[in-house]
A and B are shown apart, each in its own frame.
Chain A
Amino acid sequence: MLQVNINQPLENFVLDVEFAVEQGIIVGVYGPSGAGKSSLLAAISGISTGQSIINNQLNLATLAPDKRGICLQLQACPLFPHLNVQGNLNFAYKHRPKNNNQLMIDEIVSLLGVADLLNREVGSLSGGEQQRIVFARTLLLGQNIILLDEPFSALDWQKKQRLLSAIKYLAKNKKITFIIVSHSLKELSYCADKLLQLSRGKIIRFGDTDIISQHINNEQGTTHFSFINFQQPSPLPEYNLTKVTLSQSQQVLYINQFDDRNNYKICINANDISVSTAPEKNSSCINTLHCTFVGCQLQQHEALLYLDVDGQTLLCSLNPLAWQQLAITTGQTLYAQPHAI
């Protein structure tokens, strides 16, 4: 159990945070820029002062950062330029503490899919490749509490998905506690067990990701999305697609190649769905989901539709004019066509 109790004056406000998490839990920290997210991680890791951090009844507050058993990957965390990629990983592995998370280099390389980068020089890596190696190095440092500050900001969603899935795997199977700061709710919703929403140094919400994510999703000004769970996927390499089936209704979806073995869910942006009251014929869109209209939240420039698909909620964002023209009633059957999944 990691108990965090911080009261630390920052430049414009006081960081006043108290929460506790069990071992092997992933906590996502979400909030606007300047909310105190990075300061929170710095305080937990010990690189700033004024905190009470207790891990399994051991008070860490008086210990130096290297004695806490906590590893913080800063937002700007460079690879060491005098070593190549393999050298950076070996460096972390060689200098890990004795009481470590037992992760081996080969295991991490395979889990994150970075084998093709091992012999590269650090200076020749792209931003996204660097972030993958930095993350691999962080894991190999062997700590059981890992704090990540915007770790995957330079990666596309597909690459991100693999790393987020790796985090889920490591939390579940190696009992590593992760606290991840990100400005992307989608990223945190995909992997976090608990979500902590921060604003001007104070906790606004803290709880299960599904609930907190839903609250934030309903707020104006955020990019809306939904996660749809599915069953065992079957790859269709000839089309560069994966066929997945929804568990209750047995509806079939064709999604882009999917290599996440730990997390059978896809993220669908609310903006990437079109709906119709009758099934579309001769459409280029290969996916059509039968769904039931549950409700609509009208905002200034957006109508946010809540649809029930397979017992799961699917959000669809429409222009208010389109919403008026459709004239839908609650309980009506709709046909949703998600693009880009």
Chain B
Amino acid sequence: MLETDFTALFLTVKLAVITSLLLLIICFPIAWLLSNYRGRLKPYFEAVIALPLVLPPTLLGFYLLVAFSPNTILGEFWQSLTGHQLAFSFSGIVLGSLIYSLPFVMQPLLVGFSQVNSQYNSAAIALGFSARKRFFYLLIPLLKSTILSAFSLGFAHTLGEFGLVLMIGGNIPGETQVVSIALYDHVEALNYQAAHELSLILFAISFICLVLLFKFNRSNLGFRGANATS
């Protein structure tokens, strides 16, 4: 494997970890609020969250570039926050990934919160547990496997990102060149050997992520002894 491939691999994993962690922090309170919200606007909120599932990544990338261009308020804010513009920067592809992978982290959390609310939270309210006790001693332990599932799904999905990263970040080794773009480069250059090696590694990492994901899903809601029978 080429040194640039190792760099791309490291960058990809770094991007996936940062994106998934940030998404967990962002999505957790939103999922909690949304699962308790019964208003008329709920389908609209849910649709906005699910939009990245159906929109082409290039479209998202294009409008992110437009919205964060240096002459806009958002662009100026971004420049003052990070010290550089959104395009061709690592922080730029993190922002893109946050939007691109948002539904993959949000959906499992929404499902988990709805399940916990309907089955356990309402019973715990009636039993007289305070909101703090319910959150820390019931919600978090019960959602442990859901949180891990959401993280794995966000991580796995970010690993395979291509169009949006290319659109925002371009192809700068060590800064924005992730594995999928390095692979594209190898194929363009007809270096199939390097392409195979990189593909194999990406395949292995993705497979392990999905195995972990399904493993967490099996232990739904942190059930102890889920396979035990009476």
Q: Which A residues lie at the B interface, using CB under 8 A?
A: 42, 45, 47, 65-66, 68-74, 76-78, 80-84, 91-92, 95, 97, 121-126, 129, 138, 141, 143
Contact = CB atoms under 8 A, between A and B. Distances in A.
Interface stretch (B56-64, B125-133, B157-165, B167-175): B125-133
Nearest to B118: A76
A42 B125 CA distance: 11
A156 B117 CA distance: 31
A123 B224 contact: yes
Contacts of A68: 128
Contacts, number: 82
Given A95-B137, A124-B229, A125-B230, A65 B221 contact: no
- 9 closest Cβ contacts across the A-B interface? A121-B225, A124-B228, A82-B222, A72-B126, A81-B223, A66-B130, A77-B123, A82-B141, A71-B128
Interface string B122-155: 1101111111010001100110100000000000
Given A122-B224, A123-B225, A80 B129 contact: no
B226 interface: yes
B6 interface: no
Nearest to B229: A124
Interface string B3-18: 0000000000000000
A121 B230 CA distance: 10
Nearest to A122: B224
Given A123-B226, A125-B230, A73 B137 contact: no
Contact of B120 (A69, A78, A126): A78
B80 interface: no
B119 interface: yes
B128 A81 contact: no
A78 B127 contact: no
Contacts of B137: 91, 95
B120 A123 contact: no
A306 B107 CA distance: 64
A316 B41 CA distance: 61
Nearest to A68: B128
A291 B229 CA distance: 50
A125 B228 CA distance: 9
B228 A71 contact: no
Given A83-B224, A95-B129, A74 B123 contact: yes
A143 B224 contact: no
Contacts of A122: 223-225
Contacts of B122: 47, 74
A72 B230 CA distance: 28
A129 B229 CA distance: 13
B230 A124 contact: yes
Contacts of B127: 71-73, 77, 92, 138, 141
Nearest to A134: B123
Contact of B128 (A78, A91, A124, A143): A143
A169 B230 CA distance: 31
Given A72-B128, A73-B126, A138-B127, 8 more contacts: A47-B122, A66-B128, A70-B128, A71-B128, A91-B137, A92-B127, A122-B224, A124-B228
Nearest to A126: B230
Interface in B193-230: 221-226, 228-230
A92 B133 CA distance: 11
Nearest to A125: B230
Contacts of B131: 66
Interface string B106-121: 0000000000000110
A84 B224 contact: yes
Contacts of B125: 47, 65-66
Contacts of A129: 230
23 contacts: A45-B128, A47-B125, A65-B125, A65-B126, A66-B129, A69-B128, A76-B123, A77-B123, A77-B126, A81-B222, A81-B224, A82-B141, A82-B142, A92-B127, A97-B128, A121-B225, A121-B228, A123-B224, A123-B225, A123-B228, A125-B230, A141-B128, A143-B128
Nearest to B228: A124
B128 A80 contact: no
Nearest to A69: B128
A234 B225 CA distance: 42
B123 A78 contact: yes
Contacts of A76: 119, 123
A84 B119 contact: no
A84 B126 contact: no
Of A74, A77, A82, A92, the most chain B CB neighbours within 10 A belong to A82
Contacts of A70: 128
A82 B230 contact: no
Contacts of A65: 125-126, 128
A221 to B, nearest CB: 32
A117 B230 CA distance: 12
Kindly name the residue among B127, B223, B225 whose own CB sees the greatest number of chain A CB atoms within 10 A.
B127
A289 to B, nearest CB: 40
Contacts of A69: 128
A47 B126 CA distance: 7
A306 to B, nearest CB: 42
A45 B126 CA distance: 7
B129 A81 contact: no
